[in-house]
Structure 1
C-alpha cells in the first residue's frame, strides 16, 4: 500500500517550485518575475538552515529512523538534493536566458566583467578604489585555524600565484606545494548591489554588480600576486537551535547565546558559481560538505541583489499595477471606533483593506483617558513599529500595559529582544513567553471605563501585528466586544501571564489544550450529520497541513462521504484523491502577488454552519507545541463576509494549482467556455467597489480667486 502521508520536506520543495512557477510565467511583469525568483532563493536559504539541518542532525543521531512516509533521513536528504538541484537549475536558466535578456530589451542591461569596455573599466576601478576597497578584508586560508565563513554572507575566493620576477622574502608568504594560496573576501553588505555604468546609449541603463566588481578588481588586494582563479560563494549554516528553557531569569542571555551559536554552527549547504572547480573542492573539504550539498549557479548567486532595479522602473511598467490598501468603507476615519464596535463586530481583510484601523485602534486606546489597560501578544512586529510606539505612549500615560513578547520567533529573536527592552524602559510589563511553548496567538484587548460599565474591546487575528507585512500578506482579523469572547480573552491573558489553569472557554479554543480536540470533534460531527442526500462539507484554508491525527480524521470523513476542500499554500502531507481513502478530498494552492497567510475553517454542521479563523495551521508544532487561538465568526454579516472570502479561493482558475495523489501539482485552467477567475484580483475589485461606495465629503469648498 502506498504511504498515506507525503514527506514534509519534499512537499515544501514543491511549494517552492510553485513560487518559481510564477517567475516562469511570461504574462507577469519582468520585475515581478524577478521578485519570485529572489523569493525562491530566500526560501531555500531558510529551508537549508532549518529543515535540511534538522534532517542532517537526525541522520547523525538516528540514521534508521523513518518518517510518516517510511523514508529514512538519508533517503530524504538524497531526494531533497535531487529536487532542489532541479529547481535551482530551472531558476538560473530563467534568470540568465529569459529575465536578464528581456530586461535588456527594456533598457536595463546587465554588463558582466567580460563585457566591460575601457570607459567602464576605468569608471569601476575608481568606484572600487574609493567606495569598496576600504571595506574589504582579505582572509588567508593557509593558517592554523581556518577563517570563519559567516552564515548566508557572499564571499569571493581568490587562488593566488606570485608574479614572476617578484621575490617574496618573508617565509610567511612563500606558501608551499601542499597549501594553495587561497584567500577570500566578504562582499560588504552595506553597499548598493547595483552600480550604474556610463553609457553612450541614451535608451539604455547599463549596470554592474557589486559581486562582479569585487571579483574583477580584487587583484588590488594582493600586491605581488596574480589571481589565477576566483569563486563566488555563500554558505548556509545550521540555524535549528532551541534555547535552554530552564534559563529562568537569564532567558534573554540564553536567547542571545542561541544567536551566537547560529553564526558559527556547522555548514549545511554551499551555493557558488562555476568559475573554479579547484577552489570549490578546497572549500568543500574545509567545510566538510558533500557533492549533494553544493549548488552551482551561472553567475549571480543572490537574485535578490537585482531587486534594486525597481528604483530604475520610473513609470512602473515592469512591475504590477499599484493596488491600493482601502480604508474600510464602514469604519469612521475621524473618530475612535468605540461607539461603532459596541454595536457591530468588524472583519478586517488585509492587504486589500488598510492595516491603519489596527494602528488607529491602539493609538486611540493609548490617548483615551477612559482606557484603563491594554493587553496583547507580539510575535513579529517589524522595524520602526507604530504598534510599539503606541504601547510605550500608553504606558507613559499611566495605563496598565501588559505585552507578551515571544523571543523565540525564529530569525526575529534579536529584534524582539530590543523591542522587549524598549517596552520595559517605557513602563510596559513585559512577559517573555512560556517555558517550552512559543506564544503564536495574535490577540489584543483594550479595557475601557464607560458610563455604564467596564467594556472590553478585543482584536483577534490570523497574522502578526506587523504594519510592513500587512501590506504583503493576506490575513483576516476580527474586532469585537462580544462579552463571551471578551471573557475568554481575559482568561487567556490570566493563563499566559500568571498561574491560572485553563478554564472552560465559551468561544475561543487554545492550543495546545483544545484546538486539536475541537477540530477533530467537529470533523467527527460532520461525519455523524452527513447523509448521502446531504453530504457533510468541510472547507479549510491555511499555510501548511502536516498534523497526522487531523489528516487521519479527514481520511475517515472522506470515507463516510464528507466533501473536503482544502486550500494549502505551502506544505501538505495529506494525500488526496486516493480511492477508498481520500477520494472526496481536493487540495488546491494559490501563489500570487500577495502571500496567502489567513487560516479559515468552515464546517457545514448539518445545516447550522460554523466558521472559524485561527493563528494556527494544522501542524504538530502549532497544535501541540505552541500557544495558539482559534476564534469563531459569530456576527451574521461578518460570517457572510468571511465565507465569501473563503469561497473565492476555490473559484480560482488562473493562479490555482491542484495537488494530485502522486505528489505533483497541476495548474487549474479555465475552459474555453469559462472566463479566467483570479481570486486575488477579484478580491481587490470587491474592496475597490466598496471604497467607491464610501460616502464622500460633500462639504462645499470655496475657491479663492487669486490675481
Structure 2
C-alpha cells in the first residue's frame, strides 16, 4: 500500500488564508537532508562523526528517491497527480527536486574528495588510488582479487545473443567497453561490484590503507574477459522504485500477497542514474536508452560513487575522532541494588515512570519490563505491537518465552513497515510457531502505535501495567534514537489499552478513550479541539501556548489550525526534525509561530504535544507525526501525561530547543533554514543533546 495518496485537503477551501501559505513537502525534505550535510561540513564536529553524517546523507537520499520521487513519477505517469498544496505542479516539483539534488550531491561528493578524504588521510586512514600503490602492493591486491573476488564475479556481455542485463537497485556496477582483436567489433559488458564483499580492501601489510573494490576490479578486467581488449570502464549506480502497492481488499492472505510484492519490488522502474563524472558519452547514451531514464534523472558525480559505504570508517574505535561518550544510565525510579534486578511492577505501583532514550537505557526500562513480565508467574497475559525491531530481538524472545510459559500473548505485527517487511514476516512466523497469537491489524491501516499491555494477578484483582512510547521496540535503534516512553499502571490508561487492543485484534467498533488520543480521526480531532481551546483561552485573557515536537509537519488542516492560533495571538513553538510545510513569521498569518530543528548525534524522534490550557497543562506523547498518513491512515496513539514533574521535564525539551543559547536551525518565512553555532560575542552555543544528558544525570543525583 503506498504511503501517500493525493492530499485530502485543498488549500483553496480556506479563502481567508493566503494561497501560498504552504511550503512544498518534498522540497522541505531535501532541506532536512541539507541540514544533515551541514553537520558533515561542520568543522567543530569530530571527524568520524562527520563521516557518519556523510553516509547518512547518502542513505537518506537513496530512500527519498526509492519512495518519494518514485511515487511522484508514478502519479505523473498514471495521470493521478494533482497540484500540491504549495501551488507547484507535480512536474515543477520534480524539476526542482532534480535541480536541488544535483547541487546537494555535488556538494556532498566534493566535501568528501576535497575535505573529509584528506582529513582521514591526515589521521592515517588512507583511501588510495591504484596508481599510487607500489608494485608489491599491486601484486598483493592481485592475489586478493584472484582468490577472493574473481570467483564471485559474473561478467554479463551485451550482444544479439545476450540482452541488456537487469541492474539491481542501489548496486554499484562497472560499465565495460571491450573490443574483439580479430573482428575489431566493440561490445558492452556490465560487472556488478559484489555487495557482500568489503567495499574497501586493505592494502597488503597495512591496517589503515585501503583501495575501493571497484578500483581493484577495474585493474583486472582482462581476467574476466580473456582474449578481449578492455578499452574503458566506468562506475554507475541505479536507484529503482521500491515502494509497495498492496491491495488489502483482495481475498489473498495479506502475508502471502506482501511476499509476492516484495519479489516484484526488485524490478521497479529506475528513477535515478548516478554515473562517474568522466563517463564516455556513448556508454552513458547506452545506459540511458536501456534503462529508459531521462537526462534529468542522470547525476554526474566524482568517484567514488555511493558514499553511503563510508559508514565502514565511521565507527572505527578512535575516541578522539568521535563525540565524547555519554554515560549509560538507568532511570532513577527503576534502579535496583547491584545484586538483584529491579522490581519494575513494584516501582509502577508507586508512581508512573517517564523514560527518555537514549539518555536512559532501553534495556533496563522497556526491555526489562517485558522480560520481567515474561518470567513472572503472576503475569497472565501480554499484548504487544511490533512495528520495527532488531534482528536478534530480546523483545521477540521475551514474547516467545511468555507464550511457552503458558501466558496468553498477543503480538500485533505490522508487516507493511517500509523496508522491514521481510524481517517482520520472519518474526510473525517465528512468533506463531511459538504459540503467540499474531494479528496484522485493521485492513487499510498501518498499525504504527507503540504499545505494551501486561495483565498481572495481584491477590483477588487483576492489575494492568502499560508502556506507551514514541519509538519502536528496537534495542539497537534505541541507542541512538531520541524517544520517550511512559511506564504506568494508571487505571484509565490500562482500560484504554485494553479497548484498543481488542479493536485491533477483534475488529470491534472504535471505543471512547479517557487517556488516549487514537487515530485515525482521534488524534486529528483531539489536537484540533485543543488548539481551538488555546485560542479561546487567549481571547478570555487566560494562559495560552502551544508547543509541538515531531518528525514532520505537513498536514494542511493542522497547519491551518496553528495559523489561526497565531492570528489570534497564541504563541506557537514547534520543534521539527524533518519536513515542515508551515511558513513561520509571515506578517498577519504566523507572526507568533517559531519553528526550530535539532539534529545531532541522536536522531530526534519523540513526539510531544503540549497545551497551556489556562494553567492546567494538557500534554501528550506518542507515535503520531502531523502527516496525512499518521492522522488518517494509521493507528496511532498519544497518551496524556499526568504527573507534574514529567510535564515539567517535557517542557524542558522546548525550553532548550527554543533557547538562544542552543545551536539549532531556524525556519524562515521564505522556507530557508538558518543556523547559528556561536553567539554575538563568539562563544560556541550549547549542544542540546549534551545538555539533556547533563540534566538526566542531575535528576538522578537529586533523587
TM-score, with length taken from structure 1 = 0.93
Q: Compared with structure 1, are the counterparts of its residues 33 and 315 closer, same or farther at alpha carbon in structure 2 (3 Å cutoff)?
A: closer
Matched residue, 1:698: none
Q: 2:138 aligns with which of 121, 134, 152?
A: 121
Quote the offset at 1:67 in angstroms. Answer: 0.9
Kindly indicate whether residue 491 of structure 2 is the aligned counterpart of residue 483 of structure 1.
yes
1:617-642 CA distance string (max 9 Å, x none): 01100001100001110122222222
Quote the offset at 1:257 in angstroms. Answer: 1.4
Q: Could you tell me whether the CA contact under 8 Å between 1:599 and 1:617 is conserved in 2?
A: yes
Matched residue, 1:250: 253
Q: 1:362 aligns with which of 370, 381, 389?
A: 370
Quote the offset at 1:84 in angstroms. Answer: 0.5
Matched residue, 2:126: 109
1:45-65 CA distance string (max 9 Å, x none): 100011101111122122773
Q: 1:378 aligns with which of 360, 376, 386?
A: 386
Q: Could you tell me whether the CA contact under 8 Å between 1:522 and 1:603 is conserved in 2?
A: yes
Matched residue, 1:94: 111
Quote the offset at 1:151 in angstroms. Answer: 1.2
Quote the offset at 1:499 in angstroms. Answer: 2.9
The residue matched to 1:102 in structure 2 has which SS?
A: helix
Quote the offset at 1:335 in angstroms. Answer: 3.1
390-399 or 271-280: which moved more?
A: 271-280
Mapped partners of 2:684, 2:480: distance in 1: 27
Matched residue, 1:666: 674
Matched residue, 1:226: 229
Quote the offset at 1:533 in angstroms. Answer: 5.9
The residue matched to 2:693 in structure 1 has which SS?
A: helix
10-19 or 641-650: which moved more?
A: 641-650
Quote the offset at 1:157 in angstroms. Answer: 1.4
Matched residue, 2:326: 323
Matched residue, 1:705: none
The residue matched to 1:223 in structure 2 has which SS?
A: coil
The residue matched to 1:546 in structure 2 has which SS?
A: coil
Q: After the TM superposition, which residues 117-266 of structure 1 pair with which residues of structure 2 at under 5 Å, given as runs? A: 117-142=134-159, 143=161, 145-163=163-181, 167=182, 180-198=186-204, 205-248=208-251, 250-266=253-269
Quote the offset at 1:38 in angstroms. Answer: 0.8
Matched residue, 1:345: 352
Count of residue pairs brought into register by the alignment = 678
Q: 1:336 aligns with which of 330, 339, 343?
A: 343
Q: 2:286 aligns with which of 282, 297, 302?
A: 282
Q: Compared with structure 1, are the counterparts of its residues 399 and 47 closer, same or farther at alpha carbon in structure 2 (3 Å cutoff)?
A: same
Q: Could you tell me whether the CA contact under 8 Å between 1:462 and 1:613 is conserved in 2?
A: yes
Mapped partners of 2:66, 2:132: distance in 1: 36
Kindly indicate whether residue 584 of structure 2 is the aligned counterpart of residue 576 of structure 1.
yes
Mapped partners of 2:543, 2:645: distance in 1: 26
Q: Compared with structure 1, are the counterparts of its residues 591 and 64 closer, same or farther at alpha carbon in structure 2 (3 Å cutoff)?
A: closer
Matched residue, 2:461: 453
Mapped partners of 1:65, 1:307: distance in 2: 38
Q: Could you tell me whether the CA contact under 8 Å between 1:660 and 1:666 is conserved in 2?
A: yes
1:256-279 CA distance string (max 9 Å, x none): 111111100111001121232332
The residue matched to 1:355 in structure 2 has which SS?
A: coil
Quote the offset at 1:331 in angstroms. Answer: 1.0
Mapped partners of 1:124, 1:472: distance in 2: 37
Q: Could you tell me whether the CA contact under 8 Å between 1:326 and 1:691 is conserved in 2?
A: no
Matched residue, 2:69: 52
**Gaps in structure 2 of 5+ consecutive residues:** 1-17
Q: Compared with structure 1, are the counterparts of its residues 590 and 652 closer, same or farther at alpha carbon in structure 2 (3 Å cutoff)?
A: farther
Quote the offset at 1:99 in angstroms. Answer: 0.2
1:673-695 CA distance string (max 9 Å, x none): 5762221010111223345668x
Mapped partners of 2:355, 2:342: distance in 1: 18
Mapped partners of 2:148, 2:386: distance in 1: 40
Q: Could you tell me whether the CA contact under 8 Å between 2:333 and 2:347 is conserved in 1?
A: no
Mapped partners of 2:310, 2:561: distance in 1: 46
Q: 2:299 aligns with which of 287, 295, 299?
A: 295
1:222-260 CA distance string (max 9 Å, x none): 001122121211111112222120244521111011111
Q: Could you tell me whether the CA contact under 8 Å between 2:543 and 2:615 is conserved in 1?
A: no
Quote the offset at 1:535 in angstroms. Answer: 6.0
The residue matched to 1:587 in structure 2 has which SS?
A: strand
Mapped partners of 2:474, 2:679: distance in 1: 40
Quote the offset at 1:526 in angstroms. Answer: 0.5
Q: 2:613 aligns with which of 605, 610, 632?
A: 605
Q: Could you tell me whether the CA contact under 8 Å between 1:544 and 1:571 is conserved in 2?
A: yes
Q: 1:21 aligns with which of 25, 38, 50?
A: 38
Q: Could you tell me whether the CA contact under 8 Å between 1:34 and 1:303 is conserved in 2?
A: no
Q: Could you tell me whether the CA contact under 8 Å between 1:371 and 1:448 is conserved in 2?
A: yes
Q: After the TM superposition, which residues 458-607 of structure 1 pair with which residues of structure 2 at under 5 Å, given as runs? A: 458-531=466-539, 536-607=544-615
Matched residue, 2:6: none
Kindly indicate whether residue 702 of structure 2 is the aligned counterpart of residue 685 of structure 1.
no
1:391-410 CA distance string (max 9 Å, x none): 00100000000000001101
Quote the offset at 1:588 in angstroms. Answer: 0.6
Q: Compared with structure 1, are the counterparts of its residues 509 and 310 closer, same or farther at alpha carbon in structure 2 (3 Å cutoff)?
A: closer
Q: Could you tell me whether the CA contact under 8 Å between 1:156 and 1:230 is conserved in 2?
A: yes
**Gaps in structure 1 of 5+ consecutive residues:** 169-173, 695-707
Q: 1:439 aligns with which of 435, 441, 447?
A: 447
329-338 or 128-137: which moved more?
A: 329-338
The residue matched to 1:381 in structure 2 has which SS?
A: coil
Q: 1:307 aligns with which of 287, 308, 311?
A: 311
Q: After the TM superposition, which residues 419-434 of structure 1 pair with which residues of structure 2 at under 5 Å, given as runs? A: 419-434=427-442
Matched residue, 2:7: none
Q: Could you tell me whether the CA contact under 8 Å between 2:176 and 2:188 is conserved in 1?
A: yes
Matched residue, 1:33: 50
659-668 or 275-284: which moved more?
A: 275-284
Q: Compared with structure 1, are the counterparts of its residues 219 and 655 closer, same or farther at alpha carbon in structure 2 (3 Å cutoff)?
A: farther
Q: Could you tell me whether the CA contact under 8 Å between 1:337 and 1:361 is conserved in 2?
A: yes
Mapped partners of 2:473, 2:654: distance in 1: 22
Mapped partners of 2:443, 2:321: distance in 1: 48
Mapped partners of 1:85, 1:103: distance in 2: 25
Mapped partners of 1:675, 1:307: distance in 2: 28
Q: Could you tell me whether the CA contact under 8 Å between 1:544 and 1:569 is conserved in 2?
A: yes
Q: Compared with structure 1, are the counterparts of its residues 222 and 654 closer, same or farther at alpha carbon in structure 2 (3 Å cutoff)?
A: farther
TM-score, with length taken from structure 2 = 0.93
The residue matched to 1:530 in structure 2 has which SS?
A: helix
CA RMSD of aligned residues (A): 1.8
